[in-house]
Structure 1
Amino acid sequence: STYQGALHPVDTVSWFQSRAYCAALTAQQAGNLPAGYEYRLPTEAEWEYACRAGTTTEFHYGPDLYCNQASFSYSLHSNSSCNTPGGTAVVGGYTPNAFGLYDMHGNVWEWCQDWMGAYPSRVVTNPTGPSSGSFRVCRGGGWSDGSDGCRSAYRSRRTPDARYNFVGFRVLRSSVKFIF
Structure 2
Amino acid sequence: AGRGPEGAPYSFGFYPDRTKGNFGNEFQAGVKAVDSFSPNGFGLYNMSGNVWEWVDDWFAFYNKAVAENKNRRGNSNEKLLRGGSWYNSAYYVNVGMRFKLRPDVKLNSIGFRCAWNVP
After TM superposition, is the score higher than 0.5?
A: yes
1:115 and 2:66 are equivalent in the alignment: no
Once residues 104 and 171 of structure 1 are traced to their aligned partners in structure 2, the CA distance between those partners, rounded to angstroms, is 12
Q: TM-score, normalised by structure 2?
A: 0.84
- Cα offset, 1:72, TM superposition: 0.5
Distance 2:29 2:4 in 1: 28
Amino acid at match of 2:50: N
- Which structure has the greater CA radius of gyration? 1
Aligned residues of 1:139 and 1:154 also touching (Cα < 8 A): yes
Change (3 A) 1:131 1:156: closer
RMSD: 2.3
CA distance in 2, matches of 1:62, 1:173: 24
Say which structure, 1 or 2, has more relative contact order (CA 8 Å, 6+ apart). 1
Gaps in structure 2 of 5+ consecutive residues: none
> Structure 1 residue runs of 4+, over 6 Å off?
none
Deviation string 1:58-109 (CA, Å, 9 cap, x unpaired) is 213332111111001154xxxxxxxx22201111111101110011110000
- Decide whether the 8 Å contact of 1:111 with 1:170 is kept in 2: yes
Amino acid at match of 2:83: G
Pick the aligned partner of 2:29 from 59, 65, 86. Answer: 86
- Alignment partners' CA distance in 2, 1:74 and 1:166: 11
Larger relative helix fraction: 1
Relative to structure 1, is the Cα distance of residues 85 and 134 closer, same or farther in structure 2, using a 3 angstrom cutoff? same
**Partners of 2:6 and 2:99 in 1: CA distance:** 21
Identity of aligned residues (%): 29
Matched residue, 2:10:
59
Q: 1:123 to 1:162 in 2, by over 3 A?
A: closer
Gap regions ≥5 residues in structure 1: 1-49, 76-83, 176-180
What's the offset of the Cα at 1:159? 0.5
Query: How many residues of Structure 1 are paired with residues of Structure 2 in the alignment?
Result: 116
Which residue of the other structure, out of 96, 99, 103, is the alignment partner of 2:39? Answer: 96
Separation in 2, partners of 1:172, 1:60: 16
TM-score calculated relative to the size of structure 1: 0.57
